[in-house]
C-alpha cells in the first residue's frame, strides 16, 4: 500500500512538472499584421501652419496562397487658417501566389485630392507581378495590370475609361530597428494615355519600442493633365508615430 501511494505521488508530480515545462513549439504566426500611424505639426510666429496625417497598413496572411493588403492615408494642412492640403487615399489588394516569385493580383483604389481638382478617382485592376528579390531582409517586386478607372474632377462630369496600371515596391530591413520602404504606382487611361496619375513614396522607420516607430516619409503625387489652375505635382513630408500590431 505504501509503495502504491509513493508511486501515485511520484506520477502526479511528474505530470505536474511536465505541464509546467514550457513548450518548444513556437506560437502560430498572427493572421493580421500591420500598423497605424498619426502625426501633427504646428508652427506659430510669422506663419501659422497646422498639418495632420493619419494612416494605416494591414496585411492578412494565413500563410497560404492568398494575401490581402489594406492601406489608407489622410492628409490635411492649413496655412494662416487657409486650407492648403486635403488628400485621402485608400486601397485594397488581394495577391494570389502562383509560384514562390510569381503572383496574380486584383486591387481597388480610391483617391481624393481637392488641390489637384480631383473630387474622386476610383480604379479596379487585375494582373500579374513578380518578386525579383524576396528574402527575410529585402523585398523587391514589380507588377502590371488592366481594368477600369472612373474620375470625377471638381466642376466636371464623371468620366469612365479602361485603365492600365504598373508599379513596383521595395522594402529593406536595414537593421533590427530600421526599415526602408519605397514604392511607385502609375495609372493610365486607355482613352487618353497622356492623362496619367503617378504616386511615389519613400520612407524610413526607426523602432523606439517593441510596438512603436518613428517614421519619416516623402510623398509625391503627379497628374499629367490637371484641371486649369491646378499644378501637376504635390509633394508632402510626413513625420508620424507608428504603432505596430
Contacts of 206 (CB under 8 A, 6+ apart): 177, 178, 213, 214, 215
User: In the prediction, which pLDDT does 137 show?
Assistant: 95
User: In the prediction, which pLDDT does 124 show?
Assistant: 97
Element (H, E) at 13: helix 2-20
Look at the block and give the residue holding cell 484641371. Answer: 227
Which domains does the chain carry?
A: 32-244 (2.40.160.40)
User: In the prediction, which pLDDT does 78 show?
Assistant: 87
User: In the prediction, which pLDDT does 76 show?
Assistant: 92
Cα angle: 34, vertex 214, 171; to 5 degrees: 55
CB neighbour burial string for 194-223, b if at least 16 within 10 angstroms, e if fewer: ebbbbbebebbbebeeeeebebebebebbb
User: In the prediction, which pLDDT does 4 show?
Assistant: 47
Q: What pTM was computed for the model?
A: 0.84
Query: Which of 140, 145, 141 is CA-nearest to residue 128?
Result: 145
Sheet strands (E) in the chain: 32-43, 49-60, 66-79, 82-97, 102-113, 118-134, 138-153, 159-173, 178-189, 192-207, 212-223, 233-244
Q: How far is CA 209 from the centre of its chain?
A: 21
Is residue 57 within 8 Å of residue 82, measured between CB atoms? Answer: no
Task: For the chain of 245 residues, list the mean pLDDT of each consecutive stretch of 10.
Answer: 45 49 68 93 73 95 93 91 88 96 97 89 97 96 97 91 97 96 96 93 95 94 84 86 93
Distance in angstroms (rounded) separating the CA atoms of residues 6 and 98: 60
Is residue 81 within 8 Å of residue 49, measured between CB atoms? Answer: no
Is residue 170 within 8 Å of residue 203, measured between CB atoms? Answer: no
Mean pLDDT for the chain overall: 88
Look at the block and give the residue holding cell 494575401. Answer: 67
Amino acid at each position: 500500500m505504501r509503495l502504491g501511494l509513493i508511486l501515485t505521488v511520484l506520477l502526479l508530480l511528474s505530470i505536474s512538472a511536465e505541464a509546467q515545462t514550457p513548450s518548444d513549439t513556437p506560437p502560430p504566426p498572427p493572421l493580421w499584421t500591420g500598423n497605424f500611424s498619426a502625426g501633427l505639426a504646428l508652427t506659430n510666429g510669422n506663419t501659422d501652419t497646422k498639418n495632420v496625417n493619419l494612416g494605416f497598413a494591414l496585411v492578412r496572411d494565413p500563410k497560404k496562397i492568398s494575401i490581402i493588403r489594406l492601406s489608407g492615408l489622410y492628409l490635411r494642412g492649413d496655412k494662416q487658417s487657409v486650407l492648403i492640403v486635403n488628400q485621402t487615399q485608400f486601397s485594397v489588394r488581394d495577391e494570389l501566389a502562383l509560384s514562390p516569385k510569381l503572383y496574380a493580383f486584383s486591387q481597388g483604389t480610391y483617391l481624393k485630392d481637392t488641390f489637384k481638382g480631383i473630387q474622386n478617382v476610383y480604379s479596379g485592376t487585375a494582373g500579374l507581378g513578380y518578386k525579383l528579390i524576396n528574402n527575410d531582409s529585402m523585398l523587391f517586386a514589380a507588377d502590371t495590370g488592366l481594368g477600369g478607372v472612373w474620375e470625377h474632377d471638381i466642376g466636371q462630369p464623371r468620366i469612365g475609361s479602361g485603365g492600365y496600371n504598373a508599379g513596383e515596391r521595395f522594402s529593406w530591413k536595414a537593421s533590427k530597428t530600421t526599415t526602408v520602404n519605397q514604392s511607385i504606382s502609375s495609372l493610365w487611361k486607355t482613352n487618353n494615355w497622356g492623362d496619367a496619375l503617378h504616386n511615389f513614396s519613400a520612407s524610413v522607420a526607426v523602432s523606439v519600442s517593441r510596438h512603436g516607430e518613428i517614421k519619416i516619409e516623402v510623398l509625391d503625387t503627379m497628374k499629367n493633365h490637371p484641371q486649369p489652375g491646378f499644378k501637376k505635382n504635390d509633394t508632402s513630408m510626413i513625420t508620424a508615430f507608428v504603432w505596430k500590431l
